[in-house]
């Protein structure tokens, strides 16, 4: 039996970590991915709130799989020094929460500007980010968010290989690839597998881009999970379902639909001989 570590974006359940963590524990996860707490993004949490969050985590016996930062989810022409300072802050938070991984992105470009025209700037800025990560012994995992430089497999590969740092790896998201017209497993998995270190579990329909539970969309989740299993992946599988629930309008999923997402993932992994713990 192959074993992966289950985690999830706690703020998709509720804004309050004291509500998030019991739900995750009930679903069999002993880790959380921290994007925000009490309605405040991780990069903006005050020192006392980071300490408060660490205490809540310790009381529940929950670890942090990654700090899901917004770094690089900004314009490629925005002030580099300001974004670099924000990264330094997020890395400090990650170390305070004993998290090895920090999620980040590779910048939006202005309307009408080709990806090739910002490529060198993106690589240079990501290299500077990687320098911080190497110094602080954390690993940056790049998410293939829609409309950033690294939103297609080819550009993600170019970015990772051009930066050339062991501190920059791939956070694989099937749904985001679907939403930019890519068949994730068919068109991207083989080229990126050497760099995939973190799995964000989300699925989507190609026809309208709507997120659905794992295995219910066009994200080729069964093929992806099978290939990860067969290639020796042993990392985190972090639920980021984006399943809206009218009963919980202030969060992306809410506890009921987050549970639905967790059960859908287990339905796939149980059939593949993958234990989630």
At 198-214, the pLDDT tens digits run 999 999 999 999 999 99
DSSP H helical segments within 35-114, as ranges? 47-60, 80-96
| Structure-block tokens of residue 14 | 């509720």
Q: Which domain holds residue 74?
A: 2-276
pTM above 0.95, yes or no: yes
Pairing of the two strands 101-104 and 274-276: unpaired
Q: Which residues pair with 203 in a beta bridge?
A: 212
Using the predicted structure, report yes or no on whether residue 1 has a pLDDT greater than 90.
Answer: no
Using the predicted structure, report yes or no on whether residue 8 has a pLDDT greater than 90.
Answer: yes
Q: What is the pLDDT of residue 10?
A: 98
Mean pLDDT taken over the chain: 98
| Structure-block tokens of residue 241 | 């379902």
Q: What is the pLDDT of residue 42?
A: 98
- Identify the CATH number of the domain in which residue 177 sits: 3.20.20.150
Per-residue pLDDT tens over the stretch 236-270: 999 999 999 999 999 999 999 999 999 999 999 99
> CA 272 → CA 153, 194, 267, distances in Å?
25, 21, 9
Q: What is the pLDDT of residue 211?
A: 98
Per-residue pLDDT tens over the stretch 158-201: 999 999 999 999 999 999 999 999 999 999 999 999 999 999 99
Average pLDDT over residues 110-122: 97
Please state the domain count of the chain. 1
Average pLDDT over residues 52-72: 98
């Amino acid at each position: 039996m192959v074993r992966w570590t289950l985690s999830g974006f706690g703020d998709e359940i509720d804004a309050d970590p004291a509500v998030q963590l019991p739900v995750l524990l009930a679903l069999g996860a002993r880790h959380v991915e921290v994007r925000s707490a009490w309605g405040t993004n991780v990069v903006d949490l005050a020192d006392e709130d980071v300490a408060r969050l660490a205490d809540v985590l310790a009381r529940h016996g929950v670890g942090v799989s990654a700090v899901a930062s917004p770094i690089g989810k900004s314009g490629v022409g925005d002030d580099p020094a300001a974004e670099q300072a924000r990264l330094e802050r997020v890395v400090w938070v990650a170390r305070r929460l004993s998290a090895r991984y920090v999620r980040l992105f590779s910048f939006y470009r202005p309307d009408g500007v080709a990806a090739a025209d910002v490529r060198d700037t993106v690589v240079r800025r990501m290299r500077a980010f990687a320098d911080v990560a190497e110094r602080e012994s954390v690993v940056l995992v790049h998410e293939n968010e829609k409309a950033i430089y690294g939103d297609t497999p080819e550009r993600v590969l170019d970015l990772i290989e051009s930066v050339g740092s062991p501190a920059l790896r791939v956070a694989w998201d099937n749904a985001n690839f679907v939403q930019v017209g890519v068949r994730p497993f068919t068109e991207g998995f083989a080229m990126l597998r050497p760099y995939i270190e973190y799995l964000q579990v989300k699925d989507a329909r190609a026809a309208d881009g709507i997120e659905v539970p794992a295995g219910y969309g066009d994200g080729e989740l069964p093929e992806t999970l099978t290939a990860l299993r067969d290639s020796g992946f042993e990392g985190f599988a972090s639920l980021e379902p984006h399943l809206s629930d009218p009963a919980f309008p202030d969060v992306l999923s809410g506890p009921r639909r987050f549970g639905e997402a967790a059960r859908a993932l287990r339905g796939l992994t149980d059939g593949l001989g993958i234990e989630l713990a």
